[in-house]
Structure 1
Amino acid sequence: MSSRREHRSSRTSLLDGLEEGRFIASSSFPHDISERDNDEALDNLQDRVSFLKRLTGDIHEEAETHNRMLDRMGNNMDSARGIMSGTINRFKMVFEKKSNRRMCKLVAYFVGLFLIMYYLIRLLRYIKG
């Protein structure tokens, strides 16, 4: 209970100079110094508020830019998903028929044979040169 009293007394000692939102100068400070300090504090506070306003404006612009970019990316992903599903459907149609499967295997063998020959030719050039 005594800690509450001490807290209240320290709080009231800090707020002794305040009355109805105005600062009342104590006897140790002249009135004009207090006004000057209040003006400086007010100017300092205005500078901080304007800085924070600019900062929040910049953050808002950045967030809007990122939202637009994410929207474009989502649209691009949707179109890519459509293209991929069309391609997969075409592959399904190709592999449904046996003759088409044989054709794909034949093409894969030719591509593999071409790659093997390409690397053998490069290897022979490397050995000669």
Structure 2
Amino acid sequence: MNSRRDRNARTALFDGIEEGGIRASPSYSNHEIDEQENDKAVDGLQDRVSLLKRLTGDIHEEVEAHNRMLDRMGNDMDASRGVLSGTIDKFKMVFETKSNRRMFTLVASFVVIFLVIYYLTRWYMV
């Protein structure tokens, strides 16, 4: 008997509230409630899908932009590699064809010119 009173008290206390939400009025059938919940869930999923679609579109555009930038940078690196290898080939040709005596004369003249400019600037600075 005591358990029956507890159930009645509990029912009176939580009348209209079900586990997980508010109990629907008796005029709605379970089928209508399920349809409404399904419609809300479908709307929520549609919103999430559209958000994910926009995000993936933005990611795709960003990846395409980065790919274009990397392609341009690769082309620039190839061009600079060609210029650098051409310059190195010219230096090799100059060093191979010049004799040691001419190379020494060239280096010595640069050192002499540097020393003359250094002493002239020190003399004018004082």
TM-score, with length taken from structure 2: 0.61
Kindly state the Cα deviation for residue 88 of structure 1 after the two structures are TM-superposed.
Answer: 0.3
Where structure 1 has 5 or more consecutive residues not aligned to the other structure, the ranges are 1-28
Superposition pairs of residues 8-87 of structure 1, within 5 angstroms: 30-87=30-87
Q: Identity over the aligned pairs, expressed in percent?
A: 55
Change (3 A) 1:36 1:83: same
**Structure-1 separation of matches of 2:51 and 2:102:** 68
Q: Larger Rg: 1 or 2?
A: 2
**Structure-1 separation of matches of 2:109 and 2:50:** 69
Kindly state the Cα deviation for residue 111 of structure 1 after the two structures are TM-superposed.
Answer: 6.9
Where structure 2 has 5 or more consecutive residues not aligned to the other structure, the ranges are 1-28
Match of 2:104 in 1: 102
TM-score, with length taken from structure 1: 0.60
Deviating 4+ runs (over 3 angstroms)? 110-115
